[in-house]
Amino acid sequence: MQTTLRGVGVSHGVAIGEVRHMGTAVLEPPAKQIPAEEAEREQGRARQAVEAVAADLVARGNLAGGEAQHVLEAQAMMAQDPELMADVDRRIAVGSTAERGVYDAFASYRALLAGAGEYLAGRVADLDDVRNRIVARLLGVPMPGVPDSDEPYVLIARDLAPADTALLDPTLVLGFVTEEGGPTSHSAILARALGVPAVVALPGAGELAEGTVIAVDGSTGEIFVEPSAEKRAEMESSAAARKAALLASTGPGATSDGHKVPLLANIGGPADVPAAVAAGAEGVGLFRTEFLFLDDSKQAPSEEKQIAAYRAVLEAFPEGRVVVRVLDAGADKPLDFLTPADEPNPALGVRGLRSLLDHPDVLRTQLTALAKAAEGLPVYLEVMAPMVADRADAKAFADACRAAGLQAKFGAMVEIPSAALRARSVLQEVEFLSLGTNDLAQYTFAADRQVGAVSRLQDPWQPALLDLVAMSADAAKAEGKSCGVCGEAASDPLLACVLTGLGVTSLSMGAASIPYVRSTLAKYTLAQCERAASAARAADSAEEARVAAQAVLSGE
């Protein structure tokens, strides 16, 4: 008998197949004591296991490339954390085995992360995965991970570590469903990059029996257990129609009555450019530059290295627009040379622009490298600062850009509610705004983007979040300036129409989402989008907002 479950749809598409569960986590190793003379040998075993796991994560990242590579390299750095390894050595020195020392040290570090504020608490799942891999290697048991199967299947997991998501084979893994996670978790972002349908934050997903046939709608978040023949036919027909529409949709983004809405790509480095170009991106709306700095947490990359990486991206979009976000360090992206090590709550501390203003040499080098990378190229370079709180922040950034001789537009990201509330003030210093809806939602609702239990508050359809978007767009219009969205909200085709109706002037997203947004936007007039936006803002919940907007656009 068909039953319906609902989670949070985070990656478009339909998947129908049998359930396969993620490999079980490593069991807790026994707490036995070792003689003192064995401590050095056990410490060596632990170090070898850590280095092997870190190397494996880096290798997986190199294979995956793009966004996945940056995430996995950050995980490798986590595995090799000096303080964590010192704790492992101490535990082994007083009698723990290598595997027990690793297990207990990671448990202690895990507790610190869980209580260290929103961003770092969101890294707990990544830390657990690193621990499991190290302990599995020490115990000589198979790594936890994606099951072996010769037949395509739908993967079910409590949560998916980046190392697993990055190398999913789309020909075998039709889609995946997790109990934890949210719309902006690492797994969700990587699923969109892979083009794999995915649903997260589904309570009880682990109770679905192995081999059960389910149908996953990655757009609506619906899961149909043992779907009827009629339901399967309906979903397959809908998926086929959507695919045909995507293939037929080409050219610049626009509403059906010709209102232009440039569709841009979010990228993490040169490796992401080919997919963006293939999807028809009109430029880059968010070039995350952290990938260059995560290679070595001890020092910033040289100006020459930065110039080469930036120019590779700029050359790919002649006559196009490329919006570069300067380094956003801190919180979940700590760097030894830049961010404080003892902040009680890094997500609310010295992060983003605050870190750069405390280290003006790092900011100056990056801005100078961008200026040199753009020399002689017919590209429209725009540079923006992360975590701008007020006009003073915006002025400090604009002044730094001018001092570096940067011939580009200067902008501010709206990720802190204060920047949306005082957008007209911020716009006295910069030439454009870019809404980072992931962090804006997180800070508006005090809801960690990695925690499934609060995923409803991370839903970009929340009317309060739409109010802040409207406020920012209205301010930009009043000042004769632009206001784009570069958060994951732009990847939802229906919400893209609403954002357009709110007055947003461009939309930036993962490359895989661009065709979906382009084809959906082309179905409606600007007036319809504006009416849908008004209906969504008048609602009292995210679900009501989504339903109200859909009703307007479908003519109900």
Active site residue 486: yes
CA 390/CA 95 separation, integer angstroms: 53
SS (H, E, C) 430-456: CCEEEECHHHHHHHHHCCCCCCHHHHH
**Residue 243 CB partners (closer than 8 Å, separation 6+):** none
Choice among 401, 486, 497, 529 that is catalytic: 486
Q: In what order do the strands lie in the sheet with 198-200?
A: 3-6, 222-225, 213-217, 14-21, 153-157, 173-178, 198-200, 8-11
Q: Which residues of 375-414 are buried (b: 16+ CB within 10 A; e: fewer)?
A: eeeebbbbbbbbbbbbbebbebbbebbeebebebbbbbbb
Amino acid, single-letter form, for residue 249 = S
CA 514/CA 491 separation, integer angstroms: 7
Active site residue 529: no
CA 472/CA 421 separation, integer angstroms: 7
Q: Helix (H) and strand (E) counts for the chain?
A: 23, 16
Choice among 70, 186, 401, 497 that is catalytic: 186
Among positive and negative, which fits the CA dihedral 227, 232, 238, 244? Answer: positive
By residue count, the chain amounts to 556
| Beta-carbon count within 10 A of 302 CB | 12
* Active-site annotation, residues: 186, 486
